[in-house]
A and B are shown apart, each in its own frame.
Chain A
Amino acid sequence: MKQINVNGVHALRTEGYLLPIQAELTLQDTERAWWAHPAFILFLTVALSVLDAMVLYDIMDSAMTQSAWLGKLVAFGIALVLNVIPLMIAKLTHQAIYNLKRFAGVWALTGVLAFLLLFTGTVWLRFAYRDAYEAGSGVTQLETTVETGAAFSAAAEENEEDAHAKGTAVVVLLSVEPLVTSVANFLLAYFSEDELRARINRLRLRRLELLEAKSDLQAALANMDGDRQQLLQLDEARYRAAREVITARCEYLRAEARRLLAEYLADPAATTKLSAEAVETDPVSPPARLHALSESA
């Protein structure tokens, strides 16, 4: 048998359009902005954690007497926790809003409290070491001990206040920086990771898969219906054809036997008689009996 239409007729071949599941996937991709991809959020979390860790390490270095590596490790750990907690809070917030999980609100609140506790600790530490950010404070102290004039004393006091204000500004800025990065992380996670939306998208895909499976099963069932009868009919037709082939071959052998006899006798009269016999059908000859046999079968 030659295979001519490998994939069916031309009109039934796959066209250039997307199949429903592929189309649904591309549609769902449009909902997600480039900054909302999990890989980007992971990268951002690590990057912001490193930034926060550097800011924190500055104060950790002054505050702790342990080795530098331990200070770096603690700073990075705190920064990582400050950036990861908002991601969890964002997910729990969604779950609490839609009431998807029990006690999600309580867990979200616990997360907020943990975050605030840790964040307050870093702010407090920074304020405690505020002197380190007051520019030129050491020089002013030295000058005030050497000089004794009243006018100079007033100027020194003014300088000290100015340095104090600048130091406070730096402390506030460095304290707020981890908070801002954490809020940014929270917002990104909140807008990109909507569990309900994800469930809806998954169900939409599942629905298409089920529709496809259903149509396949219906097609299979339709193919199976009536196939047995068809096979029996086909087999019967082949059986009848096989019987006819046997009959025809036996007829040929009868004729061949007469031809060989005529050839053996080499007599024109005998040849004529035998040739006529080869084509005639005797009522009691094998073909007639064969027909009777076929009918009985």
Chain B
Amino acid sequence: MSFWKKKDTQKSFGKQGDVEETVSVRTYAPHLGLTPRDYMMPQLLADFETDFERRAKEFLQNANPDQYNGSYMDGVICKLRDEALVELSLQRADHVGSIADLISKLWNGDQIKAQAKLEQCTAELEETDRELAKLRRVYHRGTSLSDEEKEMIGA
């Protein structure tokens, strides 16, 4: 289950071209399938990549470089990469925050609820076992409920 809404223009890493299919997987706990969304390719870098060839050719036409100008785009690439990494760090902070806070709170709530239900279930099971044993004694030994209760109080 995805946690954040994805913008249509953004692409996740490593999933381009793959055909994704939503599959329902049954779990014992209600929110076990929660997970943060995939990391998204920073938009600025993606746009730069798309338009790179045109920009480079335009530069070459206008700047008239020679063989010693191989690093003519390195500065831009380096800055864009730094910015993309910073954006990725922001995404990482969001993910960690959501795991530690939102998802974790949901799971903690589920855990508390499940634990309480388990205790209630265990108590009812013990009570049922006792009641069942008492009724079986009444049924098979021909005694009455009051006899059994007196016997239990005596014991």
Contact = CB atoms under 8 A, between A and B. Distances in A.
Contacts of A219: 28
B10 to A, nearest CB: 12
Contacts of B1: none
A216 B78 contact: no
A249 B77 CA distance: 10
Contact of B104 (A1, A97, A228, A264): A228
A274 to B, nearest CB: 5
A203 B138 CA distance: 14
A213 interface: yes
Nearest to A270: B67
A253 B41 CA distance: 15
Interface in A227-249: 227-228, 231-232, 234-235, 238-239, 241-243, 245-247, 249
A3 B21 contact: yes
Given A203-B131, A227-B107, A246-B88, A285 B67 contact: no
Contact of B38 (A210, A218, A238, A246): A238
Nearest to A210: B125
B122 A214 contact: yes
B45 A249 contact: yes
A253 B49 contact: yes
A99 B148 CA distance: 10
A275 to B, nearest CB: 10
A242 B88 contact: yes
Nearest to B61: A264
A258 to B, nearest CB: 5
A228, A249, A289: residue with the most chain B Cβ atoms closer than 10 Å: A249
The size bracket of the interface on B is 35 or more
B9 interface: no
A285 B74 CA distance: 8
A231 B36 CA distance: 9
A286 B81 contact: yes
A1, A231, A247, A258: residue with the most chain B Cβ atoms closer than 10 Å: A231
Interface stretch (A21-29, A31-39, A193-201): A193-201
Interface in B88-140: 88-89, 91-92, 95-96, 99-100, 103-104, 107, 110-111, 114-115, 117-118, 121-122, 124-125, 128-129, 131-132, 135-136, 138-139
B23 to A, nearest CB: 5
Contacts of B110: 220, 224
Dominant secondary structure at the B interface:
helix
Nearest to B28: A220
A206 interface: yes
Question: Which 6 A/B pairs are nearest by Cβ-Cβ distance?
Answer: A270-B67, A99-B144, A257-B73, A220-B28, A242-B39, A286-B78
Interface of A: 1-3, 97-100, 196-197, 199-200, 203-204, 206-207, 210-211, 213-214, 216-221, 223-224, 227-228, 231-232, 234-235, 238-239, 241-243, 245-247, 249-250, 253-254, 256-258, 260-261, 264-265, 267, 269-270, 273-274, 277-278, 285-286, 289-290, 293-294, 297
Interface of B: 13-14, 20-21, 23, 27-29, 32, 35-36, 38-39, 41-42, 45, 48-49, 52-53, 56-57, 60, 65-67, 69-74, 77-78, 80-82, 84-85, 88-89, 91-92, 95-96, 99-100, 103-104, 107, 110-111, 114-115, 117-118, 121-122, 124-125, 128-129, 131-132, 135-136, 138-139, 144-147
Given A1-B21, A197-B139, A294-B85, 11 more contacts: A2-B21, A210-B125, A221-B111, A223-B29, A224-B107, A228-B107, A235-B36, A235-B92, A253-B49, A264-B57, A273-B67
24 contacts: A3-B23, A99-B147, A200-B132, A207-B125, A218-B118, A221-B111, A223-B27, A224-B107, A231-B35, A231-B99, A246-B81, A249-B45, A253-B77, A261-B56, A261-B65, A261-B70, A267-B67, A270-B67, A273-B67, A277-B70, A286-B78, A289-B78, A297-B85, A297-B89
